[in-house]
Structure 1
Amino acid sequence: MIVSMKKALFTITLLFVATLSLIAQNQFPSQIWHKGNIYGADGQTYSGLVKYDLENNLVQLQTERISTFTASNVTNFEIYDEIYGGMRRFYSLPYSLNGDYETPIFFEVLTEGNDIALLCREYVATDSRNMGAWGPMGMNPFWGPQTMTGYRLAFNYYFFKDNQIQKYSLKKKDLFNLLSGYEDEISLFMRKNRLEHDKRGDLLRITAYYNELNKN
């Protein structure tokens, strides 16, 4: 009987762990605590579990207690995304989201070079096309559309060039204007690798390729 009880408890434990794993995987990255570091504007480094909120430009640190930082008192933070894989870095940069005055907000840096950097800001959008569907949650770092019941993970992209942050319109001609000087090479690179001009992972590869070309 004791053996049977032990087996039953072991099975319940496995099911509990599996359920926790499933719950975690069915959350968006901003809803999860990640191991990471926060670098304060005061020069201090804070390590622990980190959760970010790009909508409100806040980042939280969980140690013995939970501390909340704004983009104004943080220079950057980094997380290791254990579920989706890879280190992700976010920087506080001055930008005018609503056409008013510039204020520090968080941008994720996808790739950077001497001439240009690709930034993004993620948000959760209503997805009427996938109501009731669970979509792919792949990453690393080319994760594409993520969906949960009625919602999807979406992105706004920005290029940091000539000391300015420019929002990317997702139009192909604007991409070539931003990555000027190597239009033929980039066009060939995109065709050979079947890359699109409006997907996260593809934009990352295109921008990284441009920065490699621009080294020469």
Structure 2
Amino acid sequence: MKKAIITLSFVFLGVIAVFAQNSQFPSQVWHKGNIYLNDGSTRSGLVKYDLDNNLVQLQNETIETFTASNVSNFEIFDEIFGGIRRFYSLPYAINGEYESPTFFEVLTEGNDLALLCREYVATDTRGMNYWGPMGMNPLWGPQNSFGYRLAFNYYFFKNGRLQRYSLKKKDLFALLPGYDDEIDLFMRKNRLEHDKRGDLLRITAYYNELKN
């Protein structure tokens, strides 16, 4: 019996080790994609991005590194998210200092405004669940059971300006003015939250429809 318990312990540890190896966030893997440079040229191959440092890399026979200053936009096919994701370089002061070219992912856009985001890896304080190292909901983002999760800062691009969204409901209505009753009803009818990635995407897309 003791031998069996020891064997099962090693099997369990082996499973955990495999989970840990496969628990990668989208920014940690290479994706098929295209990079569109400011000089009008396009580079295609395997793409990896680093939003913390505003860098994007291209892998073919060698690895090339580009900064947000050199890139207009890039797109990847993300097998973790299961779709095409697009990132644009826009001037912004991330730390409240001077503006510099910064990568933002575009979630949805219309004639009036666009919803953008920047992802980051945050400490997961919701507890550990060893049986779901990359439990993935395409509307929420992957959750890593080993103490980290993918989180997002959200921004609205309107009238040529980027405004960071505080994740407070009253600020959402301030950023989407003129249709408070319609948006409130849409959120209640579809059980949408004001601070979730997929819900914000749907709310913003609905607002753009109302504006049209």
TM-score range, shorter chain: 0.7 to 0.9
1:61-210 alignment runs, 5 A limit:
61-131=58-128, 133=130, 134=133, 136-139=135-138, 142-144=139-141, 146-210=143-207
Alignment partner, residue 10 of structure 2: none
**Structure 1 runs of 4+ off > 4 angstroms?**
21-25
Give CA deviations for 1:2-28 in whole Å, capped at 9, x if unaligned: xxxxxxxxxxxxxxxxxxx97785210
Alignment partner, residue 10 of structure 1: none
Distance change >3 Å, CA 39–CA 22, structure 1 → 2: farther
Give CA deviations for 1:43-78 in whole Å, capped at 9, x if unaligned: 110000000000000000000000000000000000
Q: What 5-or-longer segments of structure 2 have no aligned partner?
A: 1-17
Alignment partner, residue 35 of structure 2: 38
Give the superposition deviation at 1:144.
4.0
Contact 1:130 1:149 in 2 (8 A): no
Q: What 5-or-longer segments of structure 1 have no aligned partner?
A: 1-20
Give the superposition deviation at 1:145.
5.5
* RMSD (Å), alpha carbons: 1.7
Q: Distance in 1 between matches of 2:113 and 2:196?
A: 18
The normalised TM-score by structure 2 is 0.87
Q: Distance in 2 between matches of 1:145 and 1:195?
A: 19
Percent identity between matched residues is 75
Distance change >3 Å, CA 24–CA 46, structure 1 → 2: farther
SS at match of 1:155: strand
Contact 1:144 1:201 in 2 (8 A): no
Contact 1:132 1:150 in 2 (8 A): no
Q: Distance in 2 between matches of 1:106 and 1:118?
A: 13
Contact 2:25 2:142 in 1 (8 A): no
Alignment partner, residue 60 of structure 1: 57
Contact 1:131 1:151 in 2 (8 A): no
Contact 1:24 1:32 in 2 (8 A): no
Q: Distance in 2 between matches of 1:23 and 1:62?
A: 25
User: One-letter code of the match for 1:122?
Assistant: E
Distance change >3 Å, CA 200–CA 24, structure 1 → 2: farther
User: One-letter code of the match for 1:136?
Assistant: G
Q: Distance in 2 between matches of 1:88 and 1:22?
A: 25
